[in-house]
Structure 1
Amino acid sequence: MNPAPQGPLAGLRVVDMTAGLTGPYATQLIGDLGAEVIGIEPPEGGGLRRQGPARHPSMGSRFLRINRGKRGIAVDLETPGGRAAVFRLCERADVFLHDRAREAMRRLGLAYEDVSAANPRIVYCGVSAFGEGGPYSGRPAADETLQGLAAIAAVQARLSGAGPRYLPFAFADRAGALALVNAILAALLARNRTGRGQAVGLSVFEALSEYVLSEHMWGHTFEPPIAGMGMKRIFDRRPAPTRDGFLCYTLAHDGQVARFWRMTGRDDLAADARFATREDRNRYSKEFYDAVDAELARRTTAEWLQAFEAADLPAMPAQALPDLFDDPQLRAAGLFKTVEHPTEGAIVSLQVPTKWSKTPPRNGRHAPALGEHTVEVLLEAGYGLSEVEAMIAAQEVYAAAPQDRAGGGIRGPAAAS
């Protein structure tokens, strides 16, 4: 058995009944900091299990990353025993997350009113695409639809010139997860002050829209608006082509721009009124970046990196995805760690990207097979072994048999059907 997690959130118990990416990513971040996370899955396993390359069925690469450090149980919520098991876990939990409709949770006997009556200290989190109420409430959604609705696809169109494009990662889910972690930690702090938990609701669409509008509300910050929306400079900036690659740089402040023109010997551009101040450069951002790009195309990336460093100007090469594994800074920081998974063999794990002087996080638990910890967790919750065995026989909960853990096999009548 792996040791209990350590870190600033050690001793915190989180029950995660979410199925999408937002909730599991949020609890992965919390678990990375030392919380005890129990993931609840249906008998067939969550959808994340089947995403990405895999050595065994139901143990895909995405699942292995998002569920590191957690324990997992498999429960049939359509059975009384299954619902009772989740309720009992909530009685002893600090945080409970779900991503079902309020009425569905009420039907399961797991609504906030039900759970908080048994555990007044619980932080009860409901995650949904659009929140409760409003014309979109209850509609199905996904990362693609939320990126489109929050204007991210349209913003990308201004860059590509080829129509709307999505960001090439699940930005909606991950932005929502960060907002959710922030809310959970704030609610726990409030609980420590008041002695009582509370219900917290997250709308991923609202969280995503806040990300977008906090950057691009621009002239619509004022009522009535005094200018259009969108920070023009951000739309015009891009990696600059050099003689042999691309350079990513920042020339934002007046002093940085002055040093760049001096470094390139372009006194004429240093005197150009269009580029004199930050406000001028924002107004003429396309012309500014065109002028800079023309200079950067004259030398190699390595030559420019040396010149920018000498002038104390920020610049880095535009790396490809595989380059990150060999990046000297990430290697020195220890971000990558090869660990041995009991069924999946050697896998590359990403470490917590923060450093702690007093309570460094340590969580050596692997991503679980389906139902791997069902018996263990239910025994800790106060069930007797005979009770757990009876629940398995009744197909209310499912447990991974040791010989079937590779590929997420389950033990119980369903395994033979």
Structure 2
Amino acid sequence: MKKVLLIALLICSTLFCQAQTERVIVGAEQLNEYLPLLKDKRVAIFSNHTGMVGDKHLLDVLLEHKINVVAIFSPEHGFRGDADAGEHISSSVDKKTGVPILSLYNGKSGKPSKESMKKFDILVVDIQDVGLRFYTYYASMVRLMDACAESNRKMLILDRPNPNGHYVDGPILNMKYKSGVGWLPIPIVHGMTLGELAGMVNGEHWLPASRTCDITVIKCRNYTHQTMYQLPVPPSPNLPNMKAIYLYPSTCFFEGTPVSLGRGTSLPFQVYGHPNMKGYNYSFTPRSLPGAKNPPQLNRLCYGVNLSGLSDEEIWKKGVDLSYVIDAYRNLNLNDHFFRPFFELLVGTDYVRKMIKEGKSADEIKAMWQEDVVKFKKQRQPYLLYQE
């Protein structure tokens, strides 16, 4: 009997280990699931350099399978992913395939023209998001959802994991601060994939005039919200590694201040500093680099803090951590000159600035948004496609 139990335990242990190590299969890899949906259709894609299927780009894979791709919509940073944050990008043609590229980041509304929408029957979304309210890829997708809803076009989302999908944190956006870096009433870290978020946009009627978009999602396999997925391709020029992606929810707030967060260095979003910060041994000098042509504090020696040595576990434990911003605020002693209006667009509410000025701690401020976190986790539950 003991021998039978031991064998059963060994089998269960082996199966558990296999389940833990099974490779995540993203939506774009499941060709049998979605190629039949594209046959004999005029297809547009919303993608960039992250839309890889193994070692090939989705565009090349579709063309190899004789899919009629008529247009590419490109997000912030462009189709090849090398443009600066917020840089205006002209529409062009993909040199390799000759397919027209229609930029959504050309200084206009970010929504395609009605003429563009007439060119295709179905829009395929395949792009790697990082799960943060101020990361612009999801906002581009939502604007495309609205355009598809208006023009009676279908959307097919080839889902990819969220590298910050294991938690929810931060205040829900006060919609008076709606902007390109805050498009939906969601927390800073929403913990959802693009496929899940699109379902929530429809279900909560977040599109204008309560429109809904006809979406189909090809789900990832072997993925749950506790899967710590390592991105195979950096999603944008200043998120070069997983450390930057994990720190991004906490260091991005420096974009609304004069403090450098390392753009123009080898450690973007992993350091912070300013020429006038006192008492720090660490220093760095932002330079003009591809993807960061004119970074804050360009060519000025900055003193501050290097966060790149933190373990992933330390970063995950803290979640959205305002202690870095508070540290710089107190050190520089600039009072109101420390904060720019962009700060509220990033943080999504007006009480954070006030509490920092009042001398409150990061933990005291974090306590203010815990009800938002609980409320959102309940609200999003019907739209989750993957186990929490």
TM-score normalised by length of structure 2:
0.25
Q: Where is the helix percentage greater, Structure 1 or Structure 2?
A: 1
Q: Which has the higher contact order (CA 8 A, sep 6+)?
A: 1
User: Larger radius of gyration, structure 1 or 2?
Assistant: 1
